[in-house]
Amino acid sequence: MRSMLKYIKGYEVQAVLAPLLKMMEASFELIVPIVMKWIIDIGISNGDQTYILHKGALIVLLGVIGLICSVTAQYFAARAAVGFSTKLRQQLFEHIESLGFSEMDSVGIPTLMTRMTGDVNQVQAGLNMLLRLFMRSPVIIIGAIFLSFSIDVPSALVFLGSTVVLAVAIFMIMYTGVPLYRKVQGHLDLILTLARENLTGARVIRAFNKQKEMAATFKREHDTLTDMQLYVGRIMASMGPLTYVMVNIGTILILWVGGVRVQSGDLTTGAVVALVSYMAQILIELIKLSNLIINLTRGIAGGKRVEAIFAIEPKMKKNTPEKSEPDTDISDTDISDTETYDTATSKPAAPDAAHVRFDHVSLSYYDDGEEALSDISFSAKSGETIGIIGGTGSGKSSLVNLIPRFYDATEGRVSIRGKDVREWPLTDLRACIGMVMQRSVLFKGTVRENLKWGNSAATDEALWEALRLAQAETFVREKKGGLDAAVEQGGRNLSGGQKQRLCIARALVRKPEILILDDSASALDYATDLRLRSALAGLEYKPTIFIVAQRTSAVRGADQILVLDNGAVVGMGKHDVLLETCPLYSEIDRSQRGGADANL
Amino acid sequence: MQIFKQGLSRKRAEKDSQQEKRFQQLITIRRVWRYIHTYRARVLVALGMAVINVVTTLYVLKAIGDAVDCIVGPGAVDFVALIMVLKRIGFSIVIASAAQWTMNLLNNKVVYQVINDIRRDAFENIQHLPFSYIDGHAYGDVVSRMIADVDLLADGLLMGFTQFFTGILTIVVTLFFMFRESVIIAMVVVVLTPVSIFVARYIAGKTYHLFKTQSQIRGEQTGLIEEMVGSQKVVQAFGKEADAAAQFEAVNRRLETASVNAIFYSAITHPATRFVNGLVYAGVGIVGAISVVNGTLTVGILTGFLNYARQYTKPFNEISGVVTELQNAIACAARVFELVDAEREVPDAEDAIADRAPRGDVALDKVCFSYEAGIPILKGISLRASAGQKIAVVGPTGCGKTTLINLLMRFYDADSGSISVDGIDIKQMTRAGLRGGYGMVLQDTWLKTGTVRENLCFGNPGATEAEMIEAAKRARVHKVILRMPNGYDTMVSDSGEGLSQGEKQLICIARVMLTKPKMLILDEATSSIDTHTELAIQEAFLELMEGRTSFIIAHRLSTIQNADEILVMNAGEIVERGRHDALLAQGGFYYKLYTSQFAGDFVM
């Protein structure tokens, strides 16, 4: 947890003052019963009305100061806790942004989401509570015990005993109850799943006439939930009555011992009244303290989970600019510098030279894990189209993901324009690649904003051109607002095919040197797909194109087709050649053309 | 004048709409009452217990004062009386805590049972809702009505009510005790009370809006996180990390301000309450002590008053929170009952034909359908499938293929025209009877959370182990299942971790194989299935179709070539029909579709 202390920076003053001010308020609160004791023992006994008025005014004054202290403290605590979590969240977001694909894969997006939202909020709540209560409650509890000892030792022993018993009772109930609550929560999640499934599967359920059975399952599980809730409820329901009984038994004992001590002249009536007041105060603070501890443990647990995310170092070095002659005094290489350096040669010198080249490339996602790609070698000339085909898990996506360096090859090297991708500044490398991923992802905003991801400087004309090439012009024109048409989060308001075409357009806006289509035309109908492919073939800037596909029809026109099986290249060449030489390819082709079912 | 009139009528309209709102709220409350009614005895007992608890608790506070009066000074302690008082206190605390405990248990019981009842009814109602409702509402929305809203409704309404009741009761009884002991001090308390009411109401009102703002911005931020972190690969591919961070920072800053405000204002409640308490305490102390000096009051009664004063503002706080909570609960209740009372689909006719083994002749006669009035999806579709025939349906996206499935299975009813099975209009059959005759494999595979075995036997729970394995083998999924961690007992879910889309579809095929239907509806997956699984699925489909009337939304040439009839759909109409070769020879719409997919030299 220590590493997170740095986020409190800028709020140190508030973080220190908040508990101190709370402590002051608590001290004033503790003085009030003493003042009342004076009123009873001195004011009333002497019949001194002025004294009573003065002391009464003192109580009001204590209240006013207490209020000021505590309101200020609450503000400081809120400020510090929220400021802390705001910074933490921002840093966490940026850290997550910096993680590479392999780290993202191993942690998983849902986990990261929870860390960013629920866990950070828990840390915030824990810190806020801590700042507000960690001085107050203990000060009141310890202070009250201390003061009771200063008033009268035998009564104070009763007092101390009751406090200990109370504390034990409260913490025991909390510690049995709270984990049970968590279990209930778990079962509630199951109820949620059932409710959701009943909707997502409504068609299947009705097709099989299983409505009654589903309802019966739901009832059964919900009855279990209700039983669990009642069980936990029984435990927690005892908390109030139990503590009430204990506090009042303490009060009875104090009244009795007090009576004996007053009789012998060792104690005043006012002192007994003060002791009874302290008893009531202690109960409230004990309950608060147990809440604080629970919140704190949650906050700490959340904090540890957040810390674990920070501990993940992006394995990939982002920027290792190649310097043949080491510059003596510039240790931090300016990125913009290398940018000009690299993009100066915007096209490879020799048109025949390999544009993208794989040299004995192997990739495993985990250390000692199975190889997703093994010993891949090929080279693509500038402007060529490379088709990549194979079954699920054959390594098609892995292969193209190596080009923009989403992952680093475990062995061998991938080079672009003759230079190892690991030696490219990452931003420059990715800037010259247009990537269309398998899952079409669009962002909340307008069509224009989404397209400009490809190139923030693109003119409307360029955007329309890209849309036209991606076969998306017609439907965007038909949309209200055209380029300014709204795109909802995740592109919910668009069909699968529309999303795919916008994603393709987004990549084209960039006029990329290398265009990668990772199985990204699956939702297009045959005719649209065909038009798209011929548009891509006619691009005047002649990018090198990689097409990952499931069907041979999508790659049959490619200059080179790589057939992957289990991470290895089992065939390479043009369509006609592969039909002859590569059994897997011809099998795929036959199955898609319907040759496999001659038995019907 | 004109303007004035308009203003007046607007005012009237506002008033009307407010009345209307009140009326709606009343209806909602009565609706909730119907659920609580079952447990009314418990509710009544709980309220009785609340009365006992409040009275005894307040009595204890007074009795402590009595005890103090027995402890007058050295040598003047009345031990006989003190023991009596202490016994009474002991007795009272036992009663008070027992009453509180019983009340808590009864309240729990009622709350959780009511939640259970409402959720069960909601679930039950969903089973009968028309698909227009299910398709027309986001799943998340319906689920949150069923879960979160029901919780809030029961908690808010019942707990709110109990709190309100005990709060009022505490105030009344406290005032009663105080006025009985000393009118002057009671007056002091009553005069200072408005301060506490004012403070409590002010804070409650303020924080409600602040928390609403906070949760709205938080929702916005979560949306952004979902987008940016969920799609980080794209963010990185386009090098947009810095933009994303800046966007995040903007929302984060707004959230910071909103959170500080919300947390701070709500955190004032405690100090402010303590302060008002302190004022009341000081007032009672001063006036009480002076009264004691004047001999109109004892120290003990003063102690009792001080005890009352200490906790007097608490019920005011609780009551002020209750009002917003209750309003919130009513809003939730309205949402819940919109679902629970949503109109069910037209029930099956009483004389509807339920159970019969169909031959499998299916006919559609001039069927028209639209989801939204004015936007026709199917425009007069007619077709005839004799038992055992394979009908392939092809056409571009949005041509109405999926709608056809919806009508065949009677997920929706046709607007006009008729659909019949073996010559009987499907509206004269029970839905269960009709659907029981079909087997359906959709492209959007759905598996329930449970074991593979449970999923396979979903449609035929009585199947033997041997029958199940036989079906799995015929669906080419037996080996896949054996490779899974626990074989047939492996847990799977709809999100389907560990299963590929194709494997899920194979399980769905096996699920249908086990029910041995006479008619089939198959929706072939368009993509993302690897070659081996693809082959397995095709074989499994072919085996499944044997001897069954089959409707296939086709994307595979093999399926199309083997069809007895191909229906080519476009824009809600059947534009061409016939066998593959004949259709190709026509050189029409089908020819164009076919050539763009399967044949010809590609430009690339």
Per residue in A149-192, pLDDT (tens digit) is 888 888 889 889 988 998 898 888 888 887 888 788 888 888 88
| Predicted local distance difference test score (pLDDT) of residue A338 | 37
Distances (CA, A) of B141 to A199, A211, A439, B158, B218: 11, 20, 25, 24, 18
| Predicted local distance difference test score (pLDDT) of residue B59 | 92
Judge contact between B275 and B203, C-beta under 8 A.
no
Judge contact between B400 and B412, C-beta under 8 A.
no
Neighbouring CB atoms inside 10 A of B80's CB total: 9
Q: Token digits for A254?
A: 């104090």
Q: Which of A44, A117, A249 sits opposite B289 (nearest CB)?
A: A44
Segments forming the whole domain that contains residue B240: 183-296
Residue B3 in domain: no
In B, which residues are within 8 Å of A60 by CB distance?
A: 278-279, 282
Q: Which of A82, A222, A255 sits opposite B116 (nearest CB)?
A: A222
Nearest to A537 by CA among B145, B499, B603, B232: B603
In A, which residues are within 8 Å of B342 by CB distance?
A: none
pLDDT at B408 over 90: yes
In A, which residues are within 8 Å of B593 by CB distance?
A: 526-527
Q: Are residues B400 and B548 in the same domain?
A: yes
Could you tell me the CATH number of the domain that includes residue B82? 1.20.1560.10
The 3-class SS string of A545-567 reads: EEEEECCHHHCCCCCEEEEEECC
Nearest to B324 by CA among B440, B213, B245, B209: B209
Return the residue matching tokens 């906070």: B214
Query: Distance between CA B201 and CA B441 in Å, rounded?
Result: 59
Residue B15 in domain: no
The C-alpha of B382 sits at a distance from chain A's nearest C-alpha, in angstroms, of 23
Query: Confidence class of residue B11 from pLDDT cuts 50, 70 and 90?
Result: low
| B118-151 per-position pLDDT tens digit | 999 999 999 999 998 988 888 888 888 898 889 8
| Predicted local distance difference test score (pLDDT) of residue B13 | 65
Higher pLDDT, B273 or A213: A213
| B168-224 per-position pLDDT tens digit | 898 888 888 888 888 888 888 888 877 777 877 788 778 888 888 888 888 888 888
Q: Are residues B446 and B581 in the same domain?
A: yes
Residue B415 in domain: yes
In A, which residues are within 8 Å of B185 by CB distance?
A: none
Query: Distance between CA B352 and CA B434 in Å, rounded?
Result: 10
Judge contact between B105 and B72, C-beta under 8 A.
no
Q: Token digits for A500?
A: 């795919």
Contacts of A110 (CB under 8 A, 6+ apart): none
Residue B484 in domain: yes
| Predicted local distance difference test score (pLDDT) of residue A370 | 67
In B, which residues are within 8 Å of A188 by CB distance?
A: 147
Q: How many CA atoms lie within 13 A of B318 on its CB side?
A: 19
The C-alpha of B21 sits at a distance from chain A's nearest C-alpha, in angstroms, of 30
Q: Token digits for A558?
A: 């490619």
Contact residues, A window 512-571, toward B, CB-based 8 Å cutoff: 519, 522-523, 525-527, 529-530, 533-534, 536-537, 550, 553, 556-558
**Does the distance separating the beta carbons of A67 and B275 come in below 8 Å?**
yes
Q: Token digits for B557?
A: 């040439």
The C-alpha of A323 sits at a distance from chain B's nearest C-alpha, in angstroms, of 23
Contact residues, A window 214-233, toward B, CB-based 8 Å cutoff: 214-215, 218-219, 222-223, 225-226, 229-230, 233
In B, which residues are within 8 Å of A89 by CB distance?
A: 252
Residue B326 in domain: no
Q: Are residues B163 and B195 in the same domain?
A: no
Q: Token digits for A556?
A: 């049959």
Residue B164 in domain: yes
Interface A-B, measured as beta-carbon pairs within 8 A, has a size of: 439
Q: Are residues B278 and B145 in the same domain?
A: no
Query: Distance between CA B507 and CA B479 in Å, rounded?
Result: 12
A32 touches chain B (CB under 8 A): yes
Percent of chain B predicted with pLDDT > 90:
26
In A, which residues are within 8 Å of B240 by CB distance?
A: 453
Contacts of A149 (CB under 8 A, 6+ apart): A156, A160
The C-alpha of A360 sits at a distance from chain B's nearest C-alpha, in angstroms, of 24
Nearest to B445 by CA among B458, B430, B436, B435: B458
In A, which residues are within 8 Å of B210 by CB distance?
A: none
| Predicted local distance difference test score (pLDDT) of residue A346 | 44
DSSP letters of A164-214?
HHHHHHHHHHHHHHHHHHHHHHHHHHHHHHHHHHHHHTHHHHHHTT-HHHH
SS3 category, A569: strand
The C-alpha of B27 sits at a distance from chain A's nearest C-alpha, in angstroms, of 26
Q: Is the dihedral of CA A264, A268, A271, A276 positive or negative?
A: positive
Judge contact between A407 and A361, C-beta under 8 A.
no
**What residue of B is the nearest CA neighbor of A498?**
B397
Check: complex ipTM more than 0.95:
no
Return the residue matching tokens 């001080």: B306
SS3 category, A511: coil
Rg of chain A taking only CA atoms, in angstroms: 36
The residues with which B393 forms a beta bridge, in sequence order, are: B553, B567
| Predicted local distance difference test score (pLDDT) of residue A600 | 28
Q: Are residues B501 and B546 in the same domain?
A: yes
**What residue of A is the nearest CA neighbor of B412?**
A203
Q: Which of B70, B248, B596 sits opposite A527 (nearest CB)?
A: B596
Q: Which of B223, B278, B436 sits opposite A489 (nearest CB)?
A: B223
**What residue of B is the nearest CA neighbor of A383?**
B604
Lowest-confidence pick of A56-60, A543-547, B306-310, B518-522: B306-310
Which among A86, A93, A246, A437 is the top mutation candidate for probing chain B, defined by the most B β-carbons within 10 Å of its own β-carbon? A93
Count of the separate structural domains present in chain B: 3
**Does the distance separating the beta carbons of A237 and B127 come in below 8 Å?**
no
Rounded mean pLDDT of B322-351?
86
| Predicted local distance difference test score (pLDDT) of residue B495 | 64
Query: Distance between CA B491 and CA B485 in Å, rounded?
Result: 9
In A, which residues are within 8 Å of B147 by CB distance?
A: 188, 191-192, 195
The C-alpha of A481 sits at a distance from chain B's nearest C-alpha, in angstroms, of 22
A117 touches chain B (CB under 8 A): yes
| Predicted local distance difference test score (pLDDT) of residue A155 | 87
Residue B565 in domain: yes
**Does the distance separating the beta carbons of B293 and A67 come in below 8 Å?**
no
The C-alpha of B6 sits at a distance from chain A's nearest C-alpha, in angstroms, of 35
Q: Are strands A385-390 and B450-451 parallel, antiparallel or unpaired?
A: unpaired
| Predicted local distance difference test score (pLDDT) of residue A393 | 65
Composition of chain A by helix, strand, coil, percent to 5 = 65, 10, 25
In A, which residues are within 8 Å of B431 by CB distance?
A: 206
Nearest to A174 by CA among A245, A246, A238: A238
In A, which residues are within 8 Å of B79 by CB distance?
A: 259, 263
Report the mean per-residue pLDDT for chain B: 84
Return the residue matching tokens 């056809």: B404
**Does the distance separating the beta carbons of A594 and B557 come in below 8 Å?**
yes
Rounded mean pLDDT of B568-579?
89
Q: Are residues B200 and B175 in the same domain?
A: no
Which parts of chain A sit beneath pLDDT 50? 320-352, 594-600
**What residue of B is the nearest CA neighbor of A196?**
B143
Q: Are residues B166 and B211 in the same domain?
A: no
Domain boundary among B286, B317, B344: B344
Chain center to CA of B34: 20
Q: Are residues B44 and B162 in the same domain?
A: yes
**Does the distance separating the beta carbons of A212 and B411 come in below 8 Å?**
no
Contacts of B401 (CB under 8 A, 6+ apart): B393, B394, B395, B553, B569
Q: Are residues B176 and B194 in the same domain?
A: no
In A, which residues are within 8 Å of B534 by CB distance?
A: 591
Nearest to B511 by CA among B443, B436, B456, B469: B456
Q: Are residues B554 and B522 in the same domain?
A: yes
Residue B171 in domain: yes
Q: Are residues B372 and B488 in the same domain?
A: yes
Could you tell me the CATH number of the domain that includes residue B545? 3.40.50.300
Q: Which of A238, A269, A489 sits opposite B68 (nearest CB)?
A: A269
Amino acid letter, A56: G
| Predicted local distance difference test score (pLDDT) of residue B446 | 86
pLDDT at B46 over 80: yes
| Predicted local distance difference test score (pLDDT) of residue B136 | 83
Contacts of B68 (CB under 8 A, 6+ apart): A255, A269, A272, A273, A276, B299, B300, B303
Query: Confidence class of residue B12 from pLDDT cuts 50, 70 and 90?
Result: low
**Does the distance separating the beta carbons of A553 and B530 come in below 8 Å?**
no
**Does the distance separating the beta carbons of A259 and B538 come in below 8 Å?**
no
Judge contact between B467 and B510, C-beta under 8 A.
no
Q: Which of A77, A225, A557 sits opposite B603 (nearest CB)?
A: A557
| Predicted local distance difference test score (pLDDT) of residue B143 | 86
Which among B111, B127, B306, B555 is the top mutation candidate for probing chain A, defined by the most A β-carbons within 10 Å of its own β-carbon? B127
**What residue of B is the nearest CA neighbor of A403?**
B237
Q: Is the dihedral of CA A73, A75, A78, A83 positive or negative?
A: negative
Query: Distance between CA A91 and CA A265 in Å, rounded?
Result: 65
Q: Are residues B572 and B502 in the same domain?
A: yes
| Predicted local distance difference test score (pLDDT) of residue B106 | 93
